[in-house]
């Protein structure tokens, strides 16, 4: 067991819906793994809105700022109530410019086998800056909606350097720059141009290519094995990351990381699933895989690999699965089986 001086503080956000259930299961597994984390539980989401009057209270923001590391369950932003996306707020607050979305086959027998892809999405720019407004015409105050996307050379260079460095460090073979520079010649043209410039420094270590986003989407369906690491803009990354998750069985198997210079937040990217909340049947796999990403982030690579191996063995060899994967195990039973494997 690590000593107290070696403990790594992590802000823990249980979130909404099934969040508390999968967070509890993941925490049990990580503690059984003897990982060096010291959990700092903080409110966020709808529960925080009721108790603190804010979806992201200042105490939560202070905790993440202090710890520089967080693991979060799904958070619900109320629809049509004037609230900004909680996830977007967190990314902007902590300048989490890199969204890392790996997709790897764990359970065989689906439509696609042996998927091992990584998508890196620029997390702060593009159309997600939210500069939009209505233009009134005649008596219609919402006659025209206008939205502006913004890419900066600095932001493009930063995410490109991060992605190429990641690819080299993790022994990847190829990076595909995904864009729409044939139509959005300035907005995504700048992204493509800057990424190519950065890529020149890596051309002896990596194959570097580019694809127009619609062609890339089609090729991901026809032959996903031709890709390795995908680098793209905010909006395209949001769409393609979910498509890639579909290649491995859906968002229930898809972890994500939001990474910046001073903080990193790891998460299950699926929703809060309020329809099954409290029933004890939620699948914690995506959050467990996000925890493995967090272990790698703090250089506990052996622990991360142990967790992934045990997770695969539990699902494939032991056949212990929650209902969404064709099994009958509860969330707690799945965690018990995984802990036994560890």
- For residues 245 and 118, state if they share a domain: yes
Catalytic pick among 97, 128, 166, 202: 128
Last residue of a domain, one of 250, 284, 306: 250
Average pLDDT, the chain: 94
Average pLDDT value for residue range 177-205: 97
The predicted model scores a pTM of 0.93
Annotated active-site residue 134? The verdict is no
List, for residues 147-175, the tens digit of each pLDDT value: 999 999 999 999 999 999 999 999 999 99
**Distance from C-alpha of 246 to C-alpha of 227, rounded to nearest angstrom:** 15
166 and 230 belong to one structural domain: yes
Whether residues 232 and 152 fall in one domain: yes
Of 150, 308, 120, nearest to 230 (Cα)? 120
The answer to the question of residue 106 being in a domain is no
Contact status, residue 322 vs residue 331, Cβ threshold 8 Å: yes
Is the same domain home to 128 and 242?
yes
pLDDT at 3: 43
Query: 266 and 245 share a domain?
Result: no
The answer as to whether 99 is a domain residue is no
Q: What is the pLDDT of residue 239?
A: 97
pLDDT in tens, 27-67: 999 999 989 999 999 999 998 999 999 999 999 999 999 99
Q: Indicate which residue of 54, 116, 238, 318 is catalytic.
A: 238
Residue pLDDT, tens place only, 304-325 = 999 999 999 999 999 999 999 9
Query: Does 256 map to a domain?
Result: no
Question: Per-residue pLDDT tens for 195-249?
Answer: 999 999 999 999 999 999 999 999 999 999 999 999 999 999 999 999 999 999 9
pLDDT tens per residue, range 234-268: 999 999 999 999 999 999 999 999 999 999 999 99
Q: Is 165 a catalytic residue?
A: no
One domain for residues 215 and 269: no
178 and 72 in a common domain: no
CA neighbor of 122 nearest in space, from 67, 44, 198: 198
Residue 22 falls inside a structural domain: yes
- The reply to whether 194 and 305 lie within a common domain is no
**pLDDT the model gives residue 4:** 44
Same domain for 169 and 212, yes or no, is yes
Beta strands in the chain (DSSP E): 8-13, 37-41, 69-72, 98-104, 116-122, 126-137, 140-150, 174-179, 207-212, 229-232, 255-259, 264-268
31 is catalytic: no
Confidence band of 108 (pLDDT split at 50, 70, 90): confident
For residue 82, what pLDDT is reported? 67
pLDDT for position 311: 97
**Position 73 pLDDT exceeds 90:** yes
Residue 51 maps to a domain: yes
More confident residue, 298 or 79: 298
- Which residue, 250, 279, 310, sits at the end of a domain? 250
Handedness of CA 192, 162, 292, 84 (dihedral sign): negative
CB 75 within 8 A of CB 16: yes
Q: Is residue 148 part of a domain?
A: yes
- Does a structural domain hold residue 230? yes
**For residue 80, what pLDDT is reported?**
62
Please tell me whether residues 229 and 272 are part of one structural domain. no
The verdict on whether 97 is a catalytic residue reads: no
Q: Are residues 118 and 246 in the same domain?
A: yes
Look at residue 54 and tell me if it is in a domain: yes
Total structural domains within the chain: 2
| Residue range(s) defining the domain that contains residue 300 | 1-94+262-342
pLDDT value of position 1: 37
The pLDDT of residue 324: 92
pLDDT band per the 50, 70, 90 thresholds, residue 76: confident
- The catalytic residue among 34, 62, 165, 214 is 214
The verdict on 176 and 141 lying in the same domain is: yes
pLDDT the model gives residue 81? 60
Q: Is the pLDDT of residue 342 over 60?
A: yes
Quote the radius of gyration of the chain (alpha carbons, Å).
20
Cβ(232)–Cβ(121) under 8 Å?
A: yes
Query: Does residue 5 carry a pLDDT above 60?
Result: no
Question: Domain end: 194, 215, 250, which one?
Answer: 250
Reply yes or no on whether 180 is catalytic.
yes
Q: What is the CATH classification number for the domain harbouring 69?
A: 3.40.718.10
Percent over 70 (pLDDT), the chain: 98
pLDDT for residue 2: 41
């Amino acid at each position: 067991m690590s000593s107290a001086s070696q403990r790594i503080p992590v802000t823990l956000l249980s979130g909404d819906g099934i969040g508390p259930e999968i967070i509890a299961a993941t925490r049990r597994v990580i503690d059984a793994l003897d990982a060096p984390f010291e959990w700092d539980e903080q409110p966020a989401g709808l529960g925080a809105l009721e108790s603190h009057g804010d979806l992201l209270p200042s105490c939560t923001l202070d905790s993440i700022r202090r710890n520089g590391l967080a693991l979060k369950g799904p958070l619900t932003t109320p629809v049509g109530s004037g609230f900004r996306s909680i996830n977007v707020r967190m990314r902007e607050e902590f300048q989490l410019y890199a969204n890392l979305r790996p997709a790897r086959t764990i359970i065989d027998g689906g439509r696609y086998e042996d998927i091992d892809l990584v998508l890196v999405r620029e997390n702060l720019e593009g159309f997600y800056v939210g500069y939009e407004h209505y233009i009134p015409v005649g008596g219609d105050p919402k006659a025209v909606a206008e939205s502006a996307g913004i890419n900066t050379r600095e932001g493009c260079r930063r995410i490109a350097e991060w992605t190429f460095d990641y690819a080299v460090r993790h022994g990847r073979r190829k990076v595909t720059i995904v864009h729409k520079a044939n139509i959005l010649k300035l907005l995504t043209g700048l992204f493509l141009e800057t990424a190519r410039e950065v890529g020149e420094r890596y051309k002896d270590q990596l194959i570097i290519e580019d694809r127009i986003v619609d062609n890339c989407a089609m090729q991901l369906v026809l032959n996903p094995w031709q890709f390795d690491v995908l680098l793209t803009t905010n909006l395209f990354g949001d769409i393609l990351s979910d498509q890639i998750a579909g290649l491995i069985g859906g968002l229930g198997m898809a972890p994500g990381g939001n990474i910046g210079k001073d903080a990193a937040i790891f998460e299950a990217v699926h929703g809060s699933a309020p329809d099954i909340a409290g029933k004890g049947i939620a699948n914690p796999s995506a959050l467990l895989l996000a925890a493995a990403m967090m272990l790698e982030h703090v250089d506990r690579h052996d622990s991360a690999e142990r967790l992934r191996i045990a997770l695969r063995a539990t699902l494939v060899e032991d056949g212990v699965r929650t209902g969404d994967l064709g099994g009958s195990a509860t969330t707690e039973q799945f965690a018990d089986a995984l802990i036994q494997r560890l």
